[in-house]
Structure 1
Amino acid sequence: MKLKLLFLLFTLTTFIAQAAKVDTVMVVSTSMNKMIPTVVITPDAYSSENKSFPVVYVLHGAGGTYANWITRVPELKTYADTYNLIIVCPDGGGTSWYFDSPVDDSMTYETYISKELVPAVDSTYRTIANKSGRAITGLSMGGHGAFYLAFKHQDIWGAAGSMSGGLDLRPFPNNWDLNKRLGDYADHKENWEENSVINMVYKLKIDSLKLIFDCGISDFFYDANKRLHEKLLERNIPHDYIERPGNHNWDYWANSIKYQLLFFNEYFKSVATP
Protein backbone atom coordinates (compact mmCIF):
# COMPACT_ATOMS: atom_id res chain seq x y z
CA MET A 1 0.00 0.00 0.00
CA LYS A 2 1.37 3.38 -0.94
CA LEU A 3 2.33 5.44 2.08
CA LYS A 4 0.71 8.81 2.22
CA LEU A 5 -0.26 11.61 4.52
CA LEU A 6 -3.87 12.64 4.80
CA PHE A 7 -4.24 16.23 5.87
CA LEU A 8 -6.91 16.97 8.42
CA LEU A 9 -9.43 19.68 7.87
CA PHE A 10 -8.03 21.47 10.86
CA THR A 11 -4.60 22.95 11.45
CA LEU A 12 -2.73 24.00 14.54
CA THR A 13 -2.38 27.58 13.35
CA THR A 14 0.43 29.87 14.31
CA PHE A 15 0.15 33.40 15.51
CA ILE A 16 0.34 35.95 12.71
CA ALA A 17 3.71 37.11 14.00
CA GLN A 18 5.11 33.59 13.64
CA ALA A 19 6.38 32.65 10.19
CA ALA A 20 6.67 28.87 10.60
CA LYS A 21 3.65 26.78 9.63
CA VAL A 22 2.27 24.13 11.98
CA ASP A 23 0.09 21.39 10.52
CA THR A 24 -1.58 18.39 12.09
CA VAL A 25 -1.55 15.50 9.65
CA MET A 26 -2.74 11.91 9.75
CA VAL A 27 -0.28 9.21 8.76
CA VAL A 28 -1.45 5.80 7.58
CA SER A 29 0.09 2.91 9.51
CA THR A 30 -0.41 -0.36 7.66
CA SER A 31 1.40 -2.30 10.39
CA MET A 32 -1.16 -1.24 13.00
CA ASN A 33 -4.08 -0.72 10.62
CA LYS A 34 -4.87 2.80 11.78
CA MET A 35 -4.20 6.46 11.14
CA ILE A 36 -1.88 8.25 13.54
CA PRO A 37 -1.79 12.04 14.15
CA THR A 38 1.46 13.94 13.76
CA VAL A 39 2.48 17.59 14.07
CA VAL A 40 4.68 18.86 11.24
CA ILE A 41 6.35 22.27 11.53
CA THR A 42 7.78 23.77 8.34
CA PRO A 43 9.94 26.90 8.39
CA ASP A 44 9.00 30.11 6.61
CA ALA A 45 11.65 29.41 3.98
CA TYR A 46 9.81 26.24 2.97
CA SER A 47 7.22 28.24 1.03
CA SER A 48 9.71 30.63 -0.54
CA GLU A 49 12.79 28.51 -1.30
CA ASN A 50 12.69 25.61 -3.74
CA LYS A 51 15.09 23.34 -1.91
CA SER A 52 15.11 20.34 0.40
CA PHE A 53 15.22 20.67 4.19
CA PRO A 54 16.63 18.54 7.03
CA VAL A 55 14.14 16.96 9.44
CA VAL A 56 14.25 16.53 13.21
CA TYR A 57 11.84 14.00 14.71
CA VAL A 58 10.88 14.94 18.29
CA LEU A 59 9.22 12.28 20.48
CA HIS A 60 6.93 12.82 23.47
CA GLY A 61 7.03 11.08 26.85
CA ALA A 62 4.89 8.38 28.48
CA GLY A 63 1.22 9.28 28.58
CA GLY A 64 1.76 12.16 26.19
CA THR A 65 0.57 12.84 22.65
CA TYR A 66 1.80 14.26 19.36
CA ALA A 67 0.61 17.75 20.45
CA ASN A 68 2.65 17.93 23.66
CA TRP A 69 5.75 19.54 22.24
CA ILE A 70 4.13 22.31 20.23
CA THR A 71 1.68 23.05 23.05
CA ARG A 72 4.25 23.17 25.83
CA VAL A 73 7.16 24.57 23.81
CA PRO A 74 5.66 26.85 21.12
CA GLU A 75 9.17 28.21 20.56
CA LEU A 76 9.66 25.22 18.26
CA LYS A 77 8.21 27.41 15.52
CA THR A 78 10.99 29.95 16.04
CA TYR A 79 13.64 27.23 16.09
CA ALA A 80 12.34 25.80 12.79
CA ASP A 81 12.80 29.24 11.24
CA THR A 82 16.16 29.89 12.89
CA TYR A 83 17.72 26.65 11.66
CA ASN A 84 15.69 26.24 8.45
CA LEU A 85 14.53 22.74 9.27
CA ILE A 86 11.33 20.70 9.47
CA ILE A 87 10.25 19.40 12.89
CA VAL A 88 8.05 16.29 13.07
CA CYS A 89 6.29 15.36 16.34
CA PRO A 90 4.65 11.93 15.98
CA ASP A 91 2.20 10.25 18.33
CA GLY A 92 3.69 7.39 20.32
CA GLY A 93 0.53 5.59 21.36
CA GLY A 94 0.59 6.84 24.94
CA THR A 95 3.06 4.31 26.37
CA SER A 96 4.44 2.40 23.37
CA TRP A 97 8.06 3.11 24.31
CA TYR A 98 8.62 3.30 20.54
CA PHE A 99 9.56 -0.34 20.03
CA ASP A 100 7.66 -3.27 18.54
CA SER A 101 6.20 -4.96 21.59
CA PRO A 102 7.24 -8.61 21.87
CA VAL A 103 4.04 -9.40 23.82
CA ASP A 104 1.45 -7.18 22.08
CA ASP A 105 1.46 -7.29 18.30
CA SER A 106 -0.90 -4.29 18.13
CA MET A 107 1.95 -2.03 19.31
CA THR A 108 4.53 -1.80 16.53
CA TYR A 109 5.84 1.73 16.86
CA GLU A 110 9.40 0.92 15.80
CA THR A 111 8.04 -0.33 12.48
CA TYR A 112 5.67 2.61 12.24
CA ILE A 113 8.25 5.36 12.74
CA SER A 114 11.18 3.79 10.88
CA LYS A 115 9.33 2.18 7.96
CA GLU A 116 6.07 4.13 7.60
CA LEU A 117 6.37 7.62 9.05
CA VAL A 118 9.80 8.51 7.65
CA PRO A 119 8.93 7.44 4.07
CA ALA A 120 5.58 9.23 4.33
CA VAL A 121 7.24 12.48 5.41
CA ASP A 122 9.87 12.18 2.69
CA SER A 123 7.25 11.55 0.01
CA THR A 124 5.09 14.51 1.08
CA TYR A 125 7.62 17.20 2.00
CA ARG A 126 10.80 18.45 0.37
CA THR A 127 13.22 16.74 2.71
CA ILE A 128 16.85 15.67 2.55
CA ALA A 129 15.78 12.06 2.25
CA ASN A 130 18.81 10.31 3.69
CA LYS A 131 20.51 10.01 7.08
CA SER A 132 22.57 13.16 6.54
CA GLY A 133 19.31 15.11 6.67
CA ARG A 134 17.64 13.37 9.62
CA ALA A 135 17.93 13.58 13.39
CA ILE A 136 15.74 12.23 16.17
CA THR A 137 15.34 13.15 19.85
CA GLY A 138 12.76 13.06 22.60
CA LEU A 139 12.02 13.41 26.29
CA SER A 140 11.73 10.66 28.90
CA MET A 141 10.07 7.71 27.10
CA GLY A 142 10.81 9.62 23.90
CA GLY A 143 14.47 9.92 24.86
CA HIS A 144 14.62 6.16 25.17
CA GLY A 145 12.71 5.87 21.89
CA ALA A 146 15.00 8.23 20.00
CA PHE A 147 18.15 6.34 21.00
CA TYR A 148 16.46 2.97 20.54
CA LEU A 149 15.37 3.80 16.99
CA ALA A 150 18.64 5.47 16.04
CA PHE A 151 20.83 2.70 17.50
CA LYS A 152 18.86 0.07 15.58
CA HIS A 153 18.52 2.08 12.37
CA GLN A 154 21.80 3.86 11.79
CA ASP A 155 20.99 3.87 8.09
CA ILE A 156 17.99 6.16 8.71
CA TRP A 157 19.23 8.74 11.23
CA GLY A 158 22.57 10.51 11.22
CA ALA A 159 22.18 12.17 14.63
CA ALA A 160 20.23 11.36 17.77
CA GLY A 161 19.50 12.92 21.13
CA SER A 162 17.80 12.15 24.41
CA MET A 163 16.45 14.46 27.11
CA SER A 164 15.92 12.89 30.55
CA GLY A 165 15.67 9.57 28.75
CA GLY A 166 14.55 6.37 30.43
CA LEU A 167 17.62 4.61 29.09
CA ASP A 168 17.46 1.57 31.37
CA LEU A 169 13.99 0.05 31.71
CA ARG A 170 14.89 -2.70 34.16
CA PRO A 171 14.68 -0.67 37.40
CA PHE A 172 11.03 0.18 36.68
CA PRO A 173 9.11 -3.11 36.28
CA ASN A 174 5.81 -1.63 37.48
CA ASN A 175 5.88 1.80 35.84
CA TRP A 176 4.47 3.43 32.69
CA ASP A 177 2.85 0.25 31.28
CA LEU A 178 6.25 -1.30 30.67
CA ASN A 179 4.98 -4.70 31.81
CA LYS A 180 2.21 -4.44 29.20
CA ARG A 181 4.79 -3.81 26.48
CA LEU A 182 7.47 -6.28 27.61
CA GLY A 183 5.66 -8.76 29.86
CA ASP A 184 6.28 -9.19 33.56
CA TYR A 185 9.97 -8.87 34.37
CA ALA A 186 10.03 -12.14 36.33
CA ASP A 187 8.74 -14.11 33.33
CA HIS A 188 10.21 -12.13 30.43
CA LYS A 189 13.57 -10.87 31.64
CA GLU A 190 15.10 -11.24 28.18
CA ASN A 191 12.61 -8.71 26.75
CA TRP A 192 13.67 -6.12 29.30
CA GLU A 193 17.35 -6.77 28.66
CA GLU A 194 17.09 -6.64 24.87
CA ASN A 195 14.94 -3.51 24.72
CA SER A 196 16.81 -1.31 27.19
CA VAL A 197 18.96 1.24 25.38
CA ILE A 198 21.79 0.90 27.87
CA ASN A 199 22.27 -2.68 26.63
CA MET A 200 22.33 -1.65 22.96
CA VAL A 201 25.65 0.21 22.89
CA TYR A 202 27.23 -2.79 21.13
CA LYS A 203 25.14 -1.92 18.07
CA LEU A 204 26.89 1.42 17.60
CA LYS A 205 29.44 1.77 14.86
CA ILE A 206 32.18 4.34 15.41
CA ASP A 207 31.13 7.70 13.97
CA SER A 208 27.91 6.29 12.51
CA LEU A 209 25.75 8.48 14.75
CA LYS A 210 26.28 11.93 16.23
CA LEU A 211 24.96 11.65 19.78
CA ILE A 212 23.85 14.17 22.38
CA PHE A 213 22.01 13.49 25.63
CA ASP A 214 21.43 15.22 28.91
CA CYS A 215 19.64 14.79 32.20
CA GLY A 216 18.96 16.83 35.32
CA ILE A 217 20.82 15.68 38.40
CA SER A 218 17.54 15.56 40.38
CA ASP A 219 15.85 13.36 37.78
CA PHE A 220 14.94 9.74 38.60
CA PHE A 221 16.55 8.75 35.28
CA TYR A 222 19.83 10.50 36.10
CA ASP A 223 21.66 7.32 37.17
CA ALA A 224 20.85 5.52 33.91
CA ASN A 225 22.02 8.50 31.84
CA LYS A 226 25.29 8.71 33.73
CA ARG A 227 25.86 4.97 33.31
CA LEU A 228 25.25 5.19 29.57
CA HIS A 229 27.75 8.04 29.37
CA GLU A 230 30.35 5.91 31.16
CA LYS A 231 29.61 2.95 28.89
CA LEU A 232 30.10 5.08 25.79
CA LEU A 233 33.40 6.34 27.18
CA GLU A 234 34.56 2.75 27.70
CA ARG A 235 33.74 1.96 24.07
CA ASN A 236 35.34 5.19 22.80
CA ILE A 237 32.04 6.20 21.19
CA PRO A 238 32.06 9.98 20.55
CA HIS A 239 29.12 11.79 22.15
CA ASP A 240 28.05 14.97 23.89
CA TYR A 241 26.80 14.40 27.44
CA ILE A 242 25.43 17.13 29.69
CA GLU A 243 24.22 16.98 33.28
CA ARG A 244 22.94 20.07 35.00
CA PRO A 245 20.55 21.12 37.76
CA GLY A 246 17.04 20.09 36.87
CA ASN A 247 14.18 17.69 37.36
CA HIS A 248 11.85 15.65 35.18
CA ASN A 249 9.64 18.47 33.93
CA TRP A 250 8.83 20.79 31.05
CA ASP A 251 10.99 23.61 32.39
CA TYR A 252 13.97 21.34 31.90
CA TRP A 253 12.94 20.06 28.45
CA ALA A 254 12.06 23.51 27.09
CA ASN A 255 15.61 24.52 27.93
CA SER A 256 17.20 21.28 26.71
CA ILE A 257 15.65 21.30 23.24
CA LYS A 258 17.42 24.57 22.44
CA TYR A 259 20.85 22.96 22.83
CA GLN A 260 19.87 19.80 20.99
CA LEU A 261 18.53 21.65 17.95
CA LEU A 262 21.73 23.68 17.84
CA PHE A 263 23.69 20.41 17.93
CA PHE A 264 21.62 18.95 15.10
CA ASN A 265 21.97 22.12 13.04
CA GLU A 266 25.75 21.90 13.36
CA TYR A 267 25.57 18.26 12.26
CA PHE A 268 23.45 19.10 9.21
CA LYS A 269 25.87 21.86 8.21
CA SER A 270 28.87 19.55 8.64
CA VAL A 271 27.51 16.95 6.22
CA ALA A 272 25.89 19.33 3.74
CA THR A 273 27.00 19.04 0.14
CA PRO A 274 28.94 22.20 -0.85
Structure 2
Amino acid sequence: MRLNKRENNLYVGKLAMLLILSFLMGCSSTGNTKGIPSSYSSPEMKANEDSPMKISKLESITIPSKALDKDMRATIYLPPGYQSDQSYPVLYLLYGYGGNENSWFTYLHMGDAADRLIESNLIDSLIIVSPDYGNSFGVNSDPMDAPVPVGVDAGFYEDYLIHELVPYVDRTYSTMKDKQGRWIGGISMGGYAALMLGFTYPEMFSKIGAHSAALWTYNSTDQFTGQRDWLYANPALRELRDPFLLSRSNELNEMTIFLDAGVEDPLSEKDELLYQQLQEEGISAQWETSPGGHDFAYWSSRLDDYLLFYAELKM
Protein backbone atom coordinates (compact mmCIF):
# COMPACT_ATOMS: atom_id res chain seq x y z
CA MET A 1 0.00 0.00 0.00
CA ARG A 2 1.43 3.36 -1.02
CA LEU A 3 0.87 6.34 1.27
CA ASN A 4 0.89 9.93 0.22
CA LYS A 5 3.15 12.33 2.11
CA ARG A 6 0.44 13.48 4.56
CA GLU A 7 -0.67 9.91 5.33
CA ASN A 8 2.93 8.85 5.77
CA ASN A 9 3.57 11.65 8.28
CA LEU A 10 0.45 10.70 10.26
CA TYR A 11 1.51 7.04 10.29
CA VAL A 12 5.03 7.88 11.53
CA GLY A 13 3.59 10.18 14.21
CA LYS A 14 1.20 7.52 15.47
CA LEU A 15 3.98 4.93 15.54
CA ALA A 16 6.23 7.25 17.54
CA MET A 17 3.43 7.94 20.04
CA LEU A 18 2.79 4.21 20.50
CA LEU A 19 6.49 3.62 21.17
CA ILE A 20 6.56 6.42 23.75
CA LEU A 21 3.44 5.13 25.52
CA SER A 22 4.77 1.58 25.63
CA PHE A 23 8.03 2.88 27.13
CA LEU A 24 6.21 4.86 29.82
CA MET A 25 3.97 1.92 30.69
CA GLY A 26 7.01 -0.31 31.02
CA CYS A 27 8.68 2.14 33.40
CA SER A 28 5.62 2.34 35.62
CA SER A 29 5.27 -1.39 36.16
CA THR A 30 7.33 -2.95 38.94
CA GLY A 31 7.48 -6.52 37.65
CA ASN A 32 9.50 -7.65 40.68
CA THR A 33 8.91 -10.19 43.41
CA LYS A 34 7.50 -9.23 46.78
CA GLY A 35 9.72 -6.86 48.72
CA ILE A 36 12.58 -7.09 46.19
CA PRO A 37 13.77 -3.71 44.87
CA SER A 38 14.03 -3.23 41.13
CA SER A 39 16.51 -0.44 40.52
CA TYR A 40 17.01 1.70 37.46
CA SER A 41 18.51 5.06 36.63
CA SER A 42 15.81 7.55 35.70
CA PRO A 43 16.40 9.64 32.55
CA GLU A 44 16.18 12.73 34.80
CA MET A 45 19.09 11.52 36.95
CA LYS A 46 22.31 12.99 35.61
CA ALA A 47 25.86 11.97 36.45
CA ASN A 48 28.18 14.39 38.12
CA GLU A 49 30.67 15.51 35.43
CA ASP A 50 33.56 15.31 37.90
CA SER A 51 32.51 11.88 39.22
CA PRO A 52 30.70 10.13 36.37
CA MET A 53 30.06 6.98 38.42
CA LYS A 54 28.20 8.89 41.13
CA ILE A 55 24.63 8.92 39.89
CA SER A 56 21.36 8.82 41.76
CA LYS A 57 18.92 5.96 41.30
CA LEU A 58 15.20 5.38 41.51
CA GLU A 59 14.09 2.01 42.81
CA SER A 60 10.59 0.62 42.35
CA ILE A 61 9.69 -1.69 45.20
CA THR A 62 6.68 -3.78 46.17
CA ILE A 63 5.83 -4.27 49.84
CA PRO A 64 3.37 -6.94 51.01
CA SER A 65 0.97 -5.22 53.44
CA LYS A 66 -0.88 -7.12 56.12
CA ALA A 67 -2.80 -3.99 57.10
CA LEU A 68 -4.26 -3.66 53.60
CA ASP A 69 -4.09 -7.34 52.59
CA LYS A 70 -2.41 -6.51 49.28
CA ASP A 71 0.91 -5.55 47.77
CA MET A 72 1.79 -1.86 47.80
CA ARG A 73 4.26 -0.04 45.58
CA ALA A 74 6.75 2.71 46.41
CA THR A 75 9.42 4.63 44.52
CA ILE A 76 12.72 5.25 46.31
CA TYR A 77 15.26 7.92 45.38
CA LEU A 78 18.84 7.03 46.37
CA PRO A 79 21.27 9.97 46.19
CA PRO A 80 24.45 10.10 44.09
CA GLY A 81 27.16 8.00 45.69
CA TYR A 82 24.72 6.17 48.00
CA GLN A 83 26.67 3.80 50.27
CA SER A 84 25.29 1.11 52.54
CA ASP A 85 27.77 1.99 55.32
CA GLN A 86 26.50 5.58 55.59
CA SER A 87 23.23 6.62 57.25
CA TYR A 88 20.95 9.02 55.34
CA PRO A 89 17.95 11.09 56.42
CA VAL A 90 14.67 10.01 54.82
CA LEU A 91 11.98 12.23 53.35
CA TYR A 92 8.57 10.62 52.88
CA LEU A 93 6.71 12.46 50.10
CA LEU A 94 2.97 11.97 49.54
CA TYR A 95 1.31 12.80 46.22
CA GLY A 96 -1.97 14.65 45.65
CA TYR A 97 -5.38 13.17 44.86
CA GLY A 98 -5.29 11.09 41.67
CA GLY A 99 -1.50 10.68 41.71
CA ASN A 100 0.67 7.66 42.30
CA GLU A 101 4.05 6.71 43.73
CA ASN A 102 5.84 8.08 40.64
CA SER A 103 4.17 11.49 40.48
CA TRP A 104 6.86 13.35 42.42
CA PHE A 105 9.49 12.11 39.95
CA THR A 106 7.71 11.92 36.58
CA TYR A 107 5.61 15.11 36.78
CA LEU A 108 7.49 17.23 39.32
CA HIS A 109 11.03 15.94 38.66
CA MET A 110 11.95 15.96 42.33
CA GLY A 111 14.92 13.66 41.67
CA ASP A 112 16.42 16.13 39.24
CA ALA A 113 16.05 18.96 41.79
CA ALA A 114 17.61 16.82 44.54
CA ASP A 115 20.56 15.90 42.28
CA ARG A 116 21.20 19.54 41.46
CA LEU A 117 21.09 20.78 45.06
CA ILE A 118 23.23 17.89 46.34
CA GLU A 119 25.84 18.50 43.65
CA SER A 120 25.82 22.21 44.58
CA ASN A 121 26.39 21.33 48.26
CA LEU A 122 23.19 23.14 49.23
CA ILE A 123 21.45 20.13 50.81
CA ASP A 124 22.54 16.95 52.52
CA SER A 125 22.32 13.70 50.62
CA LEU A 126 19.00 12.10 51.45
CA ILE A 127 16.73 9.21 50.60
CA ILE A 128 13.28 10.11 49.27
CA VAL A 129 10.40 7.65 49.59
CA SER A 130 7.17 8.19 47.66
CA PRO A 131 4.63 5.47 48.50
CA ASP A 132 1.41 4.44 46.82
CA TYR A 133 -1.44 5.08 49.26
CA GLY A 134 -4.35 5.23 46.84
CA ASN A 135 -6.74 8.14 47.29
CA SER A 136 -6.98 7.34 51.00
CA PHE A 137 -5.86 10.62 52.60
CA GLY A 138 -3.55 8.38 54.65
CA VAL A 139 -6.18 7.54 57.28
CA ASN A 140 -7.42 4.27 58.74
CA SER A 141 -10.98 3.98 57.48
CA ASP A 142 -13.78 1.45 57.49
CA PRO A 143 -16.82 1.67 55.20
CA MET A 144 -18.91 0.99 58.30
CA ASP A 145 -17.83 4.35 59.74
CA ALA A 146 -19.25 6.44 56.89
CA PRO A 147 -20.22 6.03 53.23
CA VAL A 148 -17.08 6.19 51.09
CA PRO A 149 -17.21 8.90 48.39
CA VAL A 150 -16.63 7.86 44.78
CA GLY A 151 -12.92 7.90 44.00
CA VAL A 152 -11.75 7.55 47.61
CA ASP A 153 -9.97 4.43 48.89
CA ALA A 154 -10.94 3.00 52.26
CA GLY A 155 -8.64 0.77 54.30
CA PHE A 156 -6.01 0.79 57.03
CA TYR A 157 -3.63 3.09 55.18
CA GLU A 158 -2.34 4.85 58.28
CA ASP A 159 -1.26 1.50 59.74
CA TYR A 160 0.43 0.60 56.47
CA LEU A 161 2.34 3.88 56.13
CA ILE A 162 3.47 4.12 59.75
CA HIS A 163 3.81 0.52 60.94
CA GLU A 164 4.81 -1.26 57.73
CA LEU A 165 6.34 1.14 55.21
CA VAL A 166 8.64 3.05 57.59
CA PRO A 167 10.04 -0.11 59.26
CA TYR A 168 10.54 -1.72 55.83
CA VAL A 169 12.53 1.29 54.59
CA ASP A 170 14.63 1.30 57.77
CA ARG A 171 15.38 -2.43 57.39
CA THR A 172 16.20 -2.24 53.69
CA TYR A 173 18.14 1.00 53.31
CA SER A 174 20.86 2.84 55.22
CA THR A 175 18.66 5.29 57.05
CA MET A 176 18.88 7.50 60.09
CA LYS A 177 16.42 5.70 62.33
CA ASP A 178 15.44 8.48 64.72
CA LYS A 179 12.98 11.35 64.29
CA GLN A 180 15.74 13.88 63.58
CA GLY A 181 16.50 12.04 60.36
CA ARG A 182 12.91 11.36 59.31
CA TRP A 183 10.66 13.93 57.60
CA ILE A 184 7.26 13.84 55.92
CA GLY A 185 5.61 16.12 53.37
CA GLY A 186 3.06 16.20 50.60
CA ILE A 187 0.98 18.22 48.17
CA SER A 188 -2.81 18.74 48.37
CA MET A 189 -4.25 15.45 49.70
CA GLY A 190 -0.67 14.50 50.54
CA GLY A 191 -0.22 17.77 52.44
CA TYR A 192 -3.25 16.89 54.56
CA ALA A 193 -1.92 13.35 55.11
CA ALA A 194 1.54 14.64 56.08
CA LEU A 195 0.00 16.94 58.70
CA MET A 196 -2.35 14.27 60.04
CA LEU A 197 0.36 11.61 60.29
CA GLY A 198 3.05 13.99 61.55
CA PHE A 199 0.79 15.46 64.22
CA THR A 200 -0.39 11.99 65.27
CA TYR A 201 3.14 10.56 65.49
CA PRO A 202 5.36 13.45 66.61
CA GLU A 203 7.82 10.91 68.04
CA MET A 204 8.55 9.70 64.49
CA PHE A 205 9.05 12.91 62.48
CA SER A 206 10.97 16.13 63.11
CA LYS A 207 9.79 18.08 60.05
CA ILE A 208 6.47 18.32 58.21
CA GLY A 209 5.92 20.03 54.88
CA ALA A 210 2.32 20.75 53.89
CA HIS A 211 2.26 22.16 50.37
CA SER A 212 -1.18 23.40 49.26
CA ALA A 213 -2.64 21.11 51.91
CA ALA A 214 -6.29 20.07 51.65
CA LEU A 215 -7.83 21.52 54.81
CA TRP A 216 -11.34 22.44 55.91
CA THR A 217 -12.69 25.06 58.32
CA TYR A 218 -16.44 24.47 57.89
CA ASN A 219 -17.22 27.77 56.21
CA SER A 220 -18.58 28.70 52.80
CA THR A 221 -15.14 28.53 51.17
CA ASP A 222 -14.58 24.84 51.92
CA GLN A 223 -13.72 22.77 48.84
CA PHE A 224 -14.65 19.11 48.21
CA THR A 225 -17.06 18.89 51.11
CA GLY A 226 -17.91 15.26 50.31
CA GLN A 227 -14.37 14.27 51.23
CA ARG A 228 -14.51 16.50 54.31
CA ASP A 229 -17.74 14.93 55.51
CA TRP A 230 -16.31 11.45 54.99
CA LEU A 231 -13.09 12.21 56.87
CA TYR A 232 -14.92 14.00 59.69
CA ALA A 233 -18.08 11.87 59.71
CA ASN A 234 -18.47 12.23 63.48
CA PRO A 235 -16.76 14.14 66.31
CA ALA A 236 -14.60 11.16 67.30
CA LEU A 237 -13.20 10.77 63.77
CA ARG A 238 -12.62 14.47 63.47
CA GLU A 239 -10.61 14.43 66.70
CA LEU A 240 -8.38 11.74 65.18
CA ARG A 241 -7.99 13.36 61.76
CA ASP A 242 -8.36 17.14 61.70
CA PRO A 243 -4.94 18.86 61.78
CA PHE A 244 -6.53 21.94 63.42
CA LEU A 245 -7.59 19.77 66.37
CA LEU A 246 -4.54 17.48 66.40
CA SER A 247 -2.17 20.43 66.72
CA ARG A 248 -3.88 21.35 69.99
CA SER A 249 -3.92 17.85 71.43
CA ASN A 250 -0.41 16.60 70.62
CA GLU A 251 3.04 17.69 71.73
CA LEU A 252 4.67 19.33 68.70
CA ASN A 253 7.32 21.44 70.42
CA GLU A 254 10.19 19.46 68.88
CA MET A 255 8.87 19.70 65.35
CA THR A 256 9.30 22.23 62.53
CA ILE A 257 6.43 22.79 60.08
CA PHE A 258 6.48 24.46 56.67
CA LEU A 259 3.22 25.48 54.99
CA ASP A 260 2.81 27.13 51.61
CA ALA A 261 0.26 27.65 48.85
CA GLY A 262 -0.10 29.69 45.69
CA VAL A 263 -1.72 33.10 45.86
CA GLU A 264 -4.47 31.95 43.49
CA ASP A 265 -5.05 28.65 45.32
CA PRO A 266 -8.48 28.52 47.07
CA LEU A 267 -6.82 26.44 49.82
CA SER A 268 -4.33 29.19 50.64
CA GLU A 269 -6.73 30.75 53.16
CA LYS A 270 -7.09 27.46 55.09
CA ASP A 271 -3.37 26.76 55.15
CA GLU A 272 -2.55 30.23 56.41
CA LEU A 273 -5.15 29.86 59.17
CA LEU A 274 -3.40 26.69 60.35
CA TYR A 275 -0.08 28.53 60.34
CA GLN A 276 -1.59 31.29 62.48
CA GLN A 277 -2.93 28.73 64.93
CA LEU A 278 0.47 27.01 65.17
CA GLN A 279 2.08 30.39 65.85
CA GLU A 280 -0.39 31.08 68.64
CA GLU A 281 0.42 27.70 70.17
CA GLY A 282 4.16 28.41 70.12
CA ILE A 283 4.92 25.69 67.56
CA SER A 284 7.80 26.31 65.14
CA ALA A 285 6.15 26.97 61.78
CA GLN A 286 6.69 29.04 58.67
CA TRP A 287 4.27 30.22 56.00
CA GLU A 288 5.09 31.18 52.43
CA THR A 289 2.96 32.14 49.46
CA SER A 290 3.94 33.06 45.93
CA PRO A 291 2.23 33.44 42.53
CA GLY A 292 0.48 30.30 41.33
CA GLY A 293 -2.51 28.07 41.78
CA HIS A 294 -3.26 24.53 42.86
CA ASP A 295 -1.27 22.82 40.11
CA PHE A 296 1.98 21.20 39.02
CA ALA A 297 3.33 24.50 37.67
CA TYR A 298 3.22 26.02 41.16
CA TRP A 299 4.67 22.99 42.96
CA SER A 300 7.43 22.57 40.36
CA SER A 301 8.47 26.18 40.95
CA ARG A 302 8.88 25.49 44.68
CA LEU A 303 10.94 22.27 44.65
CA ASP A 304 14.19 23.97 45.68
CA ASP A 305 12.44 25.68 48.59
CA TYR A 306 10.93 22.39 49.72
CA LEU A 307 14.25 20.54 49.64
CA LEU A 308 16.08 23.39 51.37
CA PHE A 309 13.51 23.24 54.18
CA TYR A 310 13.94 19.52 54.68
CA ALA A 311 17.66 19.00 54.07
CA GLU A 312 19.54 22.32 53.86
CA LEU A 313 23.25 21.73 54.44
CA LYS A 314 24.37 23.22 57.74
CA MET A 315 27.67 25.02 57.14
Whether these two folds match at TM > 0.5 is yes
Counterpart of 1:43? Answer: 79
- What's the TM-score once normalised by structure 2's chain length? 0.74
Contact 1:5 1:124 in 2 (8 A): no
- What's the TM-score once normalised by structure 1's chain length? 0.85
Counterpart of 1:96? Answer: 136
* Identity across matched positions, percent: 27
Give the Cα separation in 2 of the matches to 1:133 and 1:114: 15
Quickly say closer, same or farther: Cα 1:130–1:209, change in 2 above 3 A: same
Counterpart of 2:58? Answer: 22
Contact 1:14 1:22 in 2 (8 A): no
Is the radius of gyration larger for structure 1 or structure 2?
2
**2:134 corresponds to 1:86:** no
Quickly say closer, same or farther: Cα 1:172–1:107, change in 2 above 3 A: farther
What is the root-mean-square deviation in Å for CA atoms of aligned residues?
2.6
Give the Cα separation in 1 of the matches to 2:158 and 2:115: 25
Counterpart of 1:107? Answer: 155
The Cα of 1:169 is off from its aligned counterpart by: 7.0
The Cα of 1:172 is off from its aligned counterpart by: 4.0
The Cα of 1:39 is off from its aligned counterpart by: 0.4
Structure 1 unaligned spans of 5+:
none
Contact 2:89 2:175 in 1 (8 A): yes
Give the Cα separation in 2 of the matches to 1:229 and 1:78: 26
Structure 2 unaligned spans of 5+:
1-32, 48-54, 119-123, 146-153
2:67 maps to which of 31, 40, 49: 31
Give the Cα separation in 1 of the matches to 2:287 and 2:34: 36
Contact 1:5 1:120 in 2 (8 A): no
The Cα of 1:74 is off from its aligned counterpart by: 2.0
Give the Cα separation in 2 of the matches to 1:195 and 1:213: 18
The Cα of 1:168 is off from its aligned counterpart by: 2.3
**Secondary structure in structure 2 of the residue aligned to 1:46:** coil
Counterpart of 1:123? Answer: 171
Counterpart of 1:57? Answer: 92
Contact 1:216 1:244 in 2 (8 A): yes
1:206-221 equivalences under 5 Å are: 206-221=252-267
The count of residues paired between Structure 1 and Structure 2 equals: 259
The Cα of 1:219 is off from its aligned counterpart by: 0.7
**Secondary structure in structure 2 of the residue aligned to 1:207:** coil
Contact 2:102 2:130 in 1 (8 A): yes
1:1-274 equivalences under 5 Å are: 6-7=35-36, 11=40, 13-14=42-43, 17-18=46-47, 19-47=55-83, 50-80=85-115, 82=118, 83-93=124-134, 95-103=135-143, 107-168=155-216, 170=218, 171-172=222-223, 174-175=225-226, 177=227, 181-182=230-231, 185=233, 188=234, 190-192=236-238, 194-266=240-312
**Secondary structure in structure 1 of the residue aligned to 2:129:** strand
Give the Cα separation in 2 of the matches to 1:174 and 1:202: 23
